[in-house]
Amino acid sequence: MTPKLFNPGPVDVSPETFAAMSHTMIGHRGKDFEDLYASLQPGLKEIFGTTRPVFLSTSSAWGVMEGALRNLARKKVLCLCCGAFSDKWIDVAKKCGYEAEAIQVEWGEAIDPESVRAKLSEGGFDTVTFIHSETSTGVLNDLEGICAVVKSFPDTMLIVDSVSSLSTVDIDMDKHGIDVCLAGVQKALALPPGLCVFSVSEAAMERAKNIPNRGYYFDFIEFAKNDAANNTPTTPALSLLFGLQYILGEIAKEGFAARKARHAQTNAMIRAWGAKHGFPLFAPEGRRSFALTCFATPDTLDLSAFIKTLKMKHHFLINGGYGKLQGTTFRISNMGNETEATMQALIDAMDSVLASM
C-alpha cells in the first residue's frame, strides 16, 4: 500500500483532483482552451495578490527560477541562501553564466533584511533571488522586510520563490513590489508536479525586453504575448490545468481567508504535538512556516525507526530531513487539502508509534 504523504512536497493529491485531471484532451489552440486559461486567472491573482496576469509554465519551479534569471539578470546576481533550495539557486545562476554572490546563513536561520541592505550597498547587483518559505528548513523568511530593502535599490529586480507558501499565507505581490513570484503546484496547491505558476511585474517585463538571449521556452515576452490571447507559448500540461481549475474552485469555495486560517490551525496542531514530546523546532521563533514544520531530531528519538513504523503500520509518510539535514531534522507538511481531522489522524498515529518505541 502506497503511504499517504505528509512529506513537504509532493503532497497528497485528492481523488477529486485526479478526477478533474482525467478530463478528455482538448486542442490547446481553440476556444475551449482559452476559456480554461481565462478561468484560472481570478483565483491565481487572488493568491498571488496581484492584478498582473499569472503565467503557466509547463516545468517544475526550477525552470522558472532559471528562466527568471535569463529574463532579468544583466550581470551580477545576489542569492539569499538559507537552505538546500535557496543555496542551489547560486549554482544555477553561475551555470547560466552570471556573476553571483551569496548572503549565506546557517540552515535553519532566516535572512536578515539589513544584511541584504548592506550587501546591495556594495553596488553592482542587478537581480536578487529569494525563497520565501525554505522548504528544507521550515523557515518562513521576512518577505515584507526583504522586499522593502530590495525596492529601495533602483533597477534591482527581486525574484521570489513561494513554492511552499503560496495560498497558505499572504504573498501580496503588488503591494510588496515583487518583480517575479513563482510557485510549483505540487506543494501548497496539492497538485501533482509538472506545472509552475508565476507572475511578473510591469517593471520586470520592461527590463526583459532589453535582455538578449532570453531564449524561447521561458521567455517572459512570449508568455505575455500569448497571455493576451488566453494562451501559452508552448503546449501546456493540460491535465494539470484541469486539476488547477478544480483546486482554485475549492479555494474559492473555502475562501482564501479561511484557507489561511486552516493552515495556521493545522500547523499549530503539529507544533503543539512536538512541544508535548519535547521536540525542538528547527526554525527560529517568528520565522516559522505555517505550511510545514521542521523539528530538530532529539537524541532520545530513533528517527529512522519512528518514520519506518509510521509508514509500515499506519501508511503515513513524513520526511526524515533534506540533504545535509537528513537524520538531524524531520519534517511534517500540513499543506494542501489537510484538515484538523486528517492532521489529528496523523498525530494519533505518531503518538501510537512513539508509545510503542
Residues that bind a copy of itself (CB under 8 A): 2, 4-5, 7, 9-13, 15, 18-19, 21-28, 32, 58-63, 66-67, 70, 91-92, 95-97, 184, 186, 192-195, 212-217, 219, 233-240, 317, 319
* Rounded least distance, CB 189 to a copy of itself, Å: 13
Q: What span, in angstroms and rounded, lies between the C-alpha atoms of 255 and 240?
A: 22
- Return the residue matching grid coordinates 501508511: 315
**Chain CA centroid to CA 99, Å:** 25
Comparing CB distances to a copy of itself, the nearer of 32 and 114 is: 32
How many CB atoms are located within 10 Å of the residue 167 CB? 29
Smallest separation, CB 18 to a copy of itself (Å): 4
330, containing H or E segment = strand 329-333
Q: How far is the CB of 137 from a copy of itself (least distance, A)?
A: 16
Instruction: List the grid coordinates of 338.
Output: 489537510
Tell me the residue ranges of DSSP E strands in the chain.
Answer: 4-5, 54-57, 76-81, 99-104, 127-131, 133-134, 139-140, 157-161, 180-184, 196-200, 292-296, 316-317, 329-333
Least separation, in Å, of the C-beta of 78 and a copy of itself? 18
Is the Cβ of residue 57 or residue 297 nearer to a copy of itself in the bound state? 57
Residue pair 288/140 in contact (Cβ under 8 Å)? The answer is yes
* Residue in the block written with cell 529569494: 130
Angle between helices 340-356 and 256-277 (to 10 degrees): 10
Minimal CA–CA distance to 171: which of 325, 52, 8?
A: 52
Least distance CB 177 / a copy of itself (angstroms): 27
Residue 27 Cβ, how far from a copy of itself at the closest point, in Å? Answer: 5
For a copy of itself, the closer CB: 209 or 277? 209
Nearest approach, Cβ of 310 to a copy of itself (angstroms)? Answer: 14
Q: Between residues 153 and 242, which has the closer beta carbon with respect to a copy of itself?
A: 242
Q: Which residue number, 5 or 82, has a Cβ lying nearer to a copy of itself? A: 5
Secondary structure E strands in 34-104? 54-57, 76-81, 99-104
How far is it, in rounded angstroms, from Cα 232 to Cα 277?
A: 49
Comparison of 186 and 267: residue with beta carbon closer to a copy of itself: 186
Q: Pick between residue 152 and residue 304 the one whose CB is nearest to a copy of itself.
A: 304
**How far is Cα 181 from Cα 247, in angstroms, rounded to an integer?**
19
d(CA 9, CA 350): 19
